[in-house]
Amino acid sequence: EDDILEDNDGDPPSSSSSSANILTRINGDKHVKLREKFLPFLLHMADISNPTKPHAVSVEWAHAVYDEFFQQGDREAAEDLPISPLCDRTTTNLPEAQVGFMNYVVKPAFLLLARCIPNMETVVIGQLEENFMYWMREKEKDNQLTGT
């Protein structure tokens, strides 16, 4: 069976290729199982896409998400439950958490998606890298303040 991510010559499809659009390529009965895996993957990508958004939006949402995490951790602490990872406002460092999330979850997933969708790497990955550098600078500032 041929690899849906490759053109007939064995190379990943180029953006100029008429067969480059993965959604067009998986539109037949032959690829039902692939669609069943790929479409939930796309939904997951939307869920973790905040670090790929324009900088101001990404930073605002990162703070909103961690505010929600910290509220959960506060509730867990009030009920004498173990505090979930990243939900303890006294130990979680937002820049460090964002760097880890972006480096180990978001970037690998979007690089995989870039194999499927033309121009993903230049448009989305570029914004991800810009936001990653912001959080690296914030992490360095925190390290300088705390001496770590």
> In a structure prediction context, what are the per-residue pLDDT tens digits for the chain, which is 148 residues long?
445 455 444 454 454 443 456 666 666 677 777 778 888 998 999 999 999 999 999 999 999 999 999 999 999 999 999 999 999 999 999 999 999 999 999 999 999 988 888 788 888 999 999 999 999 999 999 989 988 7
3-state SS class at 70: helix
What is the C-alpha to C-alpha distance for residues 44 and 56, in angstroms, rounded to an integer?
22
Sort 140 into a burial class: Cβ within 10 Å, 0-12 / 13-18 / 19+: exposed
pLDDT at 39: 84
What is the C-alpha to C-alpha distance for residues 137 and 55, in angstroms, rounded to an integer?
14
pLDDT at 17: 47
pLDDT at 107: 96
- Per-residue burial over 67-95, b if 16 or more Cβ lie within 10 Å, else e, is eebbeebeeeeeeeeebeebbbeeebbbb
